[in-house]
Amino acid sequence: MEARKRPEYVLEILVDPIYVADIVRGILHTIFFHRYFPSMRPSTLDVLDLTLPVVADPELETLIETRVGQLVRQLSSTSSPSGGSRGELGIRFFEKRRRKGGLGGWLTGTAKSEEEICWEVWKLKITLTTPRTETERMTLLRAEAPALQRTAMTIVKIVNRDKDHIPPITTSEMNPFPYEILLNPRAEYDGKTIGFFA
């Protein structure tokens, strides 16, 4: 049986530092809304006159807020007056599989009954641009809402198009697919690059 290749998606955004936290938060929630499988009561988030879906799960919301805060601090500390500071967030979704038994793990006491296999990766590459004048700021602001809307629609198209790689739900746990959000993930990726430039 041939191992399936996990899809990797790259979203690139160019954003004003004033709106970076809100825009990144909105994009992360949009991805999770379509990849979070427990039953939930949906909520919404208003960003730049757009209403985006939110997964109202305290643990997930705390993780998103933590990673967005870390990203903003990193971008702020490396920012120059002309902008151009870069950062990246990665989201990985996993399935739990029963590990095939092996004598080595049993003998060394490192046997594990389950392993987590990544089945989908999203990369969000962020570049800050700092407008030099109020006119530039207004131009950027007018461009950011349509760019965010295009990105949200791109996410929706991807999740509706690419479903065959999602593993079957084989557990009765509340969240059948563990996930992680990483700041500046190091893993190599060869996914599709999807840009939105505000």
Q: pLDDT digits over 42-52, tens only?
A: 799 999 989 99
Model pLDDT, residue 47: 94
Model pLDDT, residue 2: 47
Model pLDDT, residue 157: 96
Q: Is the pTM of this model over 0.85?
A: no
Model pLDDT, residue 172: 67
Q: Which residues contact 195 (CB under 8 A, 6 or more apart)?
A: 11, 12
Across 143-166, b (16+ Cβ under 10 Å) vs e yields: ebbebbbebbebbeebbeeeeeeb
Model pLDDT, residue 94: 92
Residue pLDDT tens, the chain, 198 long: 445 678 999 999 999 999 999 999 999 999 999 888 777 777 999 999 899 999 888 999 999 999 999 999 999 887 666 567 899 999 999 988 777 655 555 555 555 577 888 999 999 999 998 888 999 989 988 899 999 999 999 999 999 999 888 887 777 677 778 899 999 887 444 344 444 333
Instruction: Quickly list DSSP for the chain.
Output: -PPPPPPEEEEEEEE-TTTHHHHHHHHHHHHHHHH--S---EEEEEETTEEEEEE--HHHHHHHHHHHHHHHHHHHHH--TTEEEEEEEEEEEEEEEEPPP-HHHHHHT---SEEEEEEEEEEEEEEEE--SSHHHHHHHHHHHHHHHHHHHHHHHHHHHH--TTSPPP---SSSSS-EEEEES-------EEEEEE-
Q: pLDDT digits over 99-133, tens only?
A: 765 555 555 555 557 788 899 999 999 999 888 89
Percent of the chain with pLDDT over 90: 49
